[in-house]
Amino acid sequence: MIKIQKEDFNSEVEINKIKKLHSNVGAVSSFIGYVRDENNNKAVRSINLEVYQEMAHKQFEKIINEANLKWKLEDSLIIHRYGKLEVNSKIVLVACFSKHRKESFESCNFIMDYLKKDAPFWKNEFYGDKNEWLSNSN
Amino acid sequence: MIKIQKEDFNSEVEINKIKKLHSNVGAVSSFIGYVRDENNNKAVRSINLEVYQEMAHKQFEKIINEANLKWKLEDSLIIHRYGKLEVNSKIVLVACFSKHRKESFESCNFIMDYLKKDAPFWKNEFYGDKNEWLSNSN
Amino acid sequence: MKIKYFAWIKDITNLEEEEINLDKVKNLEGLKIYITEKYPDLKKYMKKKVLRFAINQEYIVKNTNLSDEDEIAIFPPVSGG
Amino acid sequence: MKIKYFAWIKDITNLEEEEINLDKVKNLEGLKIYITEKYPDLKKYMKKKVLRFAINQEYIVKNTNLSDEDEIAIFPPVSGG
């Protein structure tokens, strides 16, 4: 399941929606990314997250396909927000559903790596009255 | 934060409670373990999870201390249920809170490894009218 | 073909997207030359290889022929997640 | 001292905990001998080293002296998580 949205999400609800389809799932590993109050030693107020929607969808599908080739997953979920996000807001949720722990852990980490490298999102960080475009270090 | 309880939990609520104390946290990695409908090729109906409470608390504290020695964590959470749990019920939630992703991922995996090996819980699995005590393979 | 710009590239082009006539641009290398002439401030980023290109939502590194229905995107390194 | 039993060990001892007199048992090795005499069905598990011991909620492997206030736990391999 892939969602690219402005709105916040409830990770319990989103994970349950998928989990209840799979009684053979014993392991859900997930990652939530948040807007931090500080970056590169500057106090962050908020970010504006721009997205190239059609491409983000395509890239997420590709990432999930790759993960499914590498691990035996029962299901997976990516929710990525865009737009104006205040400090402490959730940015992203990745959750991987598998029978056993190893698969869900490794695939969740893999999806996050890939997402940071290839997903077409751009963060514009606001500090006081200044702002700056970021790029991921890896 | 360590909780050993019979009741179910809401992972969104539990994670938010801790996250809101730390505006410098950008990364929360978590693992949820569930009762699966099948184990060792047998159809599972429910489990009864026995715990040695005082020792479980002590062991969880030790695990969290170890994780804090190895990684820079802002906070961490272990919720482990006990008692009768039906298929699809949550058993455990481990969540690790850090500035950046790597620390939260690695420490969450580490805590789960340690917990599976040392936490004094015992699963009694019920299949039809039979039941069987389990032990973790690793 | 349609060209889309993202993040701070938009501050240089002053627009989010535009149509470019295929007569002027046959392939990706031709497009690079065309836009650096049209937007000289892009030149230094082109040289530093900071710009990313996608054709129809797929990353493109090598030179590729372009057709009239293609959607091209030009953007800086990503920062999602 | 107090001895606590968990999981299927309880099915062998038929109780969850009991008080043992310190005169009979001075240390962990003494306790092992004492309980296998009291509960012969535990012997094969003791031999296979399936049993785990904790003193005051800490795992113990080596022989250790026991005191009257100690809480000893005897249990099979764990299966939490």
Residues 6+ apart with CB under 8 A from A45: A86, A87, A126, A127, A128
If you measure CA to CA, which chain C residue comes closest to A53? C57
Cβ–Cβ of B52/D4 closer than 8 Å?
A: yes
Sequence-ordered list of residues with C-beta below 8 angstroms from that of C73, at least 6 positions apart, any chain:
A52, A55, A120, C3, C4, C5, C6, C53, C54, C55, C57
**pLDDT score of A74:** 98
CATH architecture of the domain covering A2-125 = Alpha-Beta Complex (3.90)
Chains near D (3 or more Cβ pairs under 8 Å): B
Secondary structure E strands in C1-81: 2-5, 17-19, 52-55, 58-60, 71-75
Query: Does residue A32 sit at the B interface (CB-CB below 8 Å)?
Result: yes
CA dihedral A6, A7, A8, A9 (to 10 degrees): -110
CB spacing of D81 vs B134 below 8 angstroms: no
Please answer yes or no on whether B50 and D6 come within 8 Å at the CB atom.
yes
Which of A11, A23, A27 faces B11 most closely, judged by CB atoms? A11
Q: How high is the pLDDT of residue B128? A: 82
- pLDDT tens digit string along A35-85? 999 988 889 999 999 999 999 999 999 999 999 999 999 999 999 999 999
Q: Residue C47 and residue C27: Cα distance in Å, rounded?
A: 18
Contact predicate A114/A66, CB 8 Å: yes
B80 contacts D80? CB cut-off 8 A:
yes
What pLDDT shows up at residue A138? Answer: 46
Q: A25 contacts in B (CB within 8 Å)? A: 34, 36
Interface membership of A127 toward C (CB under 8 Å): no
Q: How far apart are CA C23 and CA C21, in angstroms?
A: 5
Q: Test C7 with A136 for CB contact under 8 angstroms.
A: no
Residue A131 bridge partners (DSSP)? A126
Alpha carbon distance A113, C78 (integer Å): 12
pTM above 0.90, yes or no: yes
Q: Comparing A116-120, B18-22, D22-26, which segment has the lowest mean pLDDT? A: D22-26
Question: Alpha helices, DSSP H only, in chain C?
Answer: 9-13, 28-38, 43-47
Handedness of CA D19, D24, D26, D32 (dihedral sign): negative
The residues with which A90 forms a beta bridge, in sequence order, are A34
The answer, for C14 touching chain A at a CB cutoff of 8 Å, is no
- Cβ atoms of D75 and D81 within 8 Å: the answer is no
A38 touches chain B (CB under 8 A): yes
What are the sequence ranges of the domains in chain A?
2-125
pLDDT value, residue B137: 63
Instruction: Look up the CATH superfamily of D2-75.
Output: Beta-grasp domain (3.10.20.30)
8 Å CB contact of A104 and B29? no
pLDDT tens per residue, chain C (81 residues)?
999 999 999 999 999 999 998 787 899 999 999 999 999 999 999 988 899 999 999 999 899 999 999 999 999 999 998
Longest Cα separation, chain A? 51
Q: CA dihedral in degrees (B32, B35, B40, B42; nearest 10)?
A: -160
The string over D40-58, giving b where at least 16 C-beta atoms fall within 10 Å of a residue's C-beta and e elsewhere, is: eebeebeeeeebbbbbebe
| B138 has a pLDDT exceeding 60 | no
Residue B69 phi/psi, 5-degree rounding, is -75, -35
Give the tokens for residue D31: 């306790």
Say how far apart CA D36 and CA D26 lie, in whole Å.
15
Q: Where are the domains of chain C?
A: 2-75
B108-128 core/surface letters (b: 16 or more CB in 10 A; e: else): bbbbbebbbebbbbbbbbbee
Distance from B124 to chain A by nearest Cα, in Å? 16
